[in-house]
């Protein structure tokens, strides 16, 4: 089998326009075209993706392999299939809603010149032509190496991937809104690291990610995906030090939230007339956060503050649920 330097593996479900943008970014790579291929796994799309694939082959002369899963079990099984098909010594993972900078592959591959390195990651940033709204999903943003090692921008030596048995498909779930939710990428990365391999973060290997505009309800419920975090911490105790504060708190302000709610409840029972101080406290917080006396900016902050509190409560409930389900305490 002819071994290419790198195979780019993409799991996709629908998103034909975004996939085309991703393939356009891969076609613009500075790495020679004969040194990489693209493996696209159609994870039970209802859209016909073949026109997009054919356009990339004919217009940009990309080497593309394709396959389709028989059932949707999340991205992890689809990516495992992609690696089985891949011919490259290095596997570069990204998502269909991402677009790499032209230097992505070339910059990332340089790190593998060190034979001890088996894992390479880079920044994931919003697509520069898009503007984030209040409810836009920004949880994907990573500016420095992140201990979750998202597959939006991750390169792994094929031999190291196979030695670890690939992605653990038992870590693919459906969340309460029936969305595919998984943490198999983080689990795999830490298994590779604990096997003794080195990793590198390449700041120039940038991946631009689509800004997903969510409705208010989806924005509030987005943190439900975090119910998997306690299971990751149970499997990989190293994450307590690298991801959590004091080995327990994922977002320490959540603890302060509950203290504040208990304080408000105590004031309500003891001296309810003191609750007038609550809006003043929010306004002062707005002055500190915005560093502005602009009335419209402060009003916007005060209006959004209760929504952020609700979202924070959802996050903490998800972590508590995961802590009970997986018997690993994360707050």
pLDDT at position 259 over 80: no
Q: What is the pLDDT of residues 274-304, one digit of tens each?
A: 665 666 666 566 666 667 777 777 667 666 7
Q: Indicate whether 208 and 243 sit together in one domain.
A: no
Q: What is the pLDDT of residues 51-102, one digit of tens each?
A: 999 999 999 999 999 999 999 888 999 999 999 999 999 999 999 999 999 9
Strand 117-121 versus strand 180-182 pairing type = unpaired
58 plus 172 within the same structural domain: yes
Residues 206 and 223 in one domain: no
- The pLDDT, as a whole number, for residue 280 is 64
What pLDDT shows up at residue 84? 97
Please check the confidence at residue 236 and state whether its pLDDT lies above 60: yes
pLDDT in tens, 304-322: 777 888 898 899 999 999 9
| Same domain as 255, residue 316 | yes
Q: Which of 214, 240, 273 is the last residue of a domain?
A: 214
Q: Which one is predicted more confidently, 58 or 138? A: 58
Same-domain check for residues 245 and 262: yes
Give the residue ranges of DSSP H helices in 139-276: 158-163, 184-194, 216-221, 229-235, 238-243, 253-270
Q: Which of 173, 198, 214 is the last residue of a domain?
A: 214
In terms of domains, do 91 and 131 share one?
yes
Per-residue pLDDT band for 185 (boundaries 50, 70, 90) equals very high
End position of a domain, from candidates 214, 231, 257: 214
Please determine, for residue 248, whether its predicted confidence score (pLDDT) is greater than 80: yes
Residue 274: predicted pLDDT: 61
Distance CA 72, CA 13 (A): 9
SS percent in the chain: helix, strand, coil, step 5: 50, 20, 30
Residues 6+ apart with CB under 8 A from 210: 18, 97, 98, 127, 130
pLDDT digits (tens, 9 = 90+) for 266-275: 766 777 666 6
Question: Are 304 and 320 members of one domain?
Answer: yes
**Residues 144-169: tens digit of each pLDDT:** 999 999 999 999 999 999 999 999 99
Same domain, 153 and 24: yes
Distance (Å, rounded) from C-alpha 27 to C-alpha 104?
11
Share of the chain above pLDDT 70, in %: 88
> Domain span at residue 228?
215-331
Alpha-carbon dihedral 112, 115, 119, 121, rounded to 10 degrees: -30
- Compare 2 and 181 and report the one with higher pLDDT: 181
- Assess whether pLDDT exceeds 60 at residue 193: yes
| The pLDDT value given to residue 188 | 98
Q: What is the pLDDT of residue 164?
A: 97
Q: Based on the domain organization, do 222 and 187 belong to the same domain?
A: no
Task: Please tell me the distance from the alpha carbon of residue 20 to that of residue 138, in angstroms, as a whole number.
Answer: 22
Q: Are residue 126 and residue 242 in the same domain, yes or no?
A: no
Residue 94: give its domain's CATH number. Answer: 3.90.550.10
* Same-domain status, 70 and 194: yes
**247 and 200 within one domain:** no
Cα atoms in the Cβ-side hemisphere of radius 13 Å centred on 331:
12
The answer to whether 157 and 89 are in contact (CB under 8 A) is yes
pLDDT for 186: 97
Instruction: Give the count of domains, the chain.
Output: 2
**What pLDDT score was predicted for residue 290?**
65
pLDDT at 1: 45
């Amino acid at each position: 089998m002819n071994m290419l330097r790198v195979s780019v593996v993409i799991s996709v479900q629908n998103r034909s326009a975004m996939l085309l943008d991703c393939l356009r970014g891969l076609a613009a790579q500075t790495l020679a075209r004969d040194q990489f291929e693209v493996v696209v796994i159609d994870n039970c799309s209802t859209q016909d993706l073949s026109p997009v694939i054919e356009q990339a082959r004919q217009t940009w002369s990309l080497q593309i392999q394709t396959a389709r899963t028989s059932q949707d079990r999340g991205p992890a099984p689809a990516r495992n299939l992609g690696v089985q098909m891949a011919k490259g010594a290095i596997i570069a993972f990204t998502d269909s809603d991402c677009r790499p900078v032209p230097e992505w592959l070339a910059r990332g591959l340089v790190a593998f010149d060190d034979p001890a390195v088996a894992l390479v990651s880079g920044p994931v940033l919003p697509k520069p032509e898009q503007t984030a709204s209040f409810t836009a999903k920004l949880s994907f943003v990573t500016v420095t190496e992140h201990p979750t090692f998202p597959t939006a921008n991750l390169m792994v030596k094929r031999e190291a991937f196979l030695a670890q048995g690939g992605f653990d498909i038992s870590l693919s779930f459906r969340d309460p809104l029936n969305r595919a939710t998984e943490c198999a990428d983080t689990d795999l990365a830490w298994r590779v690291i604990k096997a003794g391999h080195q990793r590198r973060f390449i700041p120039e290997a940038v991946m631009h990610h689509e800004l997903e505009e969510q409705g208010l309800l989806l924005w509030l419920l987005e943190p439900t995906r975090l119910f998997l975090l306690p299971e990751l911490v149970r499997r990989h105790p190293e994450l307590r030090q690298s991801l959590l504060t004091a080995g327990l708190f994922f977002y320490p302000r959540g603890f302060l939230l509950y203290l504040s709610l208990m304080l408000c409840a105590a004031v309500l029972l003891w001296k309810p007339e003191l609750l007038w101080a609550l809006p003043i406290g929010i306004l002062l917080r707005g002055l500190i956060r915005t560093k502005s006396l602009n009335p419209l900016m402060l009003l916007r902050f005060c209006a959004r503050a209760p929504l952020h509190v609700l979202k924070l409560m959802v996050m903490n409930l998800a972590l508590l649920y995961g802590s009970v389900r997986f018997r690993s305490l994360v707050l």
